[in-house]
Chain A
Amino acid sequence: MLAQRVAQQSLRRLAATPSRNAALLKFSLTPTAILTSPQFRQVATQKMTPTDSYQILVEQRKKRPTSPHLTIYEPQIPWILSALNRITGSVLSGAFYIFGSAYLVAPLLGWNLSSVSMAAAFGSWPVIAKVATKLLLAFPFTFHSFNGLRHLAWDMGKAFKNQTVIKSGWAVVGLSTVSALALALFV
């Protein structure tokens, strides 16, 4: 075992490049160094203040990859409907907030936002504008309502399987589109 080690060490000495470091060569040829066998690693170290190393860390962090944009993801029904849920909710709540605050400030600005005048104003619009406005409000309403049921089911820990999520997603798309059209055209 010892003989093998000695052979290994001397092989290493032989393979080492003599021109690299004169001091190393001298040291490795000294007989006392053979059995103590120091390991040499030619790593350059630098003395560095904490602020210097901090600066290096900052430089490296600047080169970390940033989050890619949504467009790199394959369009899939779960995440698209999730985004749509927030968008439709914001549209509905935005309309709700705008109406509520407008009704409060209406007397100050001389607007008449009573239900009678609003109904009269809306009734005087052309049919296409009426249907378009109704669709623009009805679809967010139906979608957010049906998708909300889906979310409540998930919150109870149900219908979580991937295939179920995809199927229920398409069901919500179909139901909300049909019911929105019905509300806009026939009600």
Chain B
Amino acid sequence: MTNETAANAIWVFIEHTDGVIADVSLELTGKARELADRLAASSDRAPEVVGLLCGHDVDALAHDVIAHGADRVILADDPELELYRTLPYARVAITEARKRGPEIFLIGGTPNGRDFAPRVASALRCGLTADCTDLQIGDYYVKKEDRTYKDLLFQIRPAFGGNLIATIVNPHTRPQMATVREGVMRKPAADASRKGVVEKIAVQLEPEDLVLEVLSRQVRKSTVKLKDAPVIVAGGAGVDGSEEFALLRDLANLLGGEVGASRAAVDAGYIDRAHQVGQTGTTVRPRLYIAAGISGAIQHRAGMDQSSKIIAINTDPSAPMFQIAHYKIVGDVGEVLPLIIKTLRERSMDQSDGHAGEADEE
């Protein structure tokens, strides 16, 4: 019975820390709901959206998963599952996936998700695509077999060097697995009235699953709030050293925003990786994105091209970033940023001086 209802399902790996579900897991639950509804339109049986929740004393989280779009939560509760560890978590996922045969399995591109997903995919001998920037449903024709595979998961990601966007499919193996970074999909609004099944399963671990013990764990609460920042001032390779990078922080503070960075700036050691915007960093949609000295590789653009307004500053007039920018400034970051800072400071001084007339005009 369980098998029958759970077949043709879309699974989401539900990550949680300190009794809170990771945003990315709820974002993917929402995406899974969307894909399931799309699949229901072209098949006679609607797929179930299933959250796979491993942990200890985490019953309370199951309803949150359902409220964000799941039909069912597979709940594996065991003291050995209290903290994430590769082997016990993978054991549960592999055992259940073999039993139930899900169509699709989505995992957050977090450190734990990127540790878990390949282990599971290898055991199930199925395909896995990392860091997808979009997921769709579509048909795939294989010429060699003269056969069209209906309703496959299209796993879309920037590829090789970032000048290409590749659509990856797995026609022959199940589940079709993909990881997606936090912020790429939108988190749906919770609907507390949604109904779903919470199915507790018996956890059976083997002694070899427990060969690794966690001696200590330090969680660093990130003070970087890129994802929700209204304004992001981001720097790249065109920023000349840490001193010039400090200008970005000044400007971000003036605008009530956050400092972002391209991978090049992170690799150069100007700023911590927590600030990285892009496919392998954070995906952002601020009101204003200022790209200072960022050439605009696709991996970076994939993480910020939904920004409402983009200002690009670069000495190279052919930088790809200019092609998606609303304001193009060909110039040196070290000269342009101080000008913007100065202009903003003067404006705020004008306003505090009581130039009400000017404020009214606007």
- Pair from one complex: no
A residues near B (Cβ < 8 Å) are none
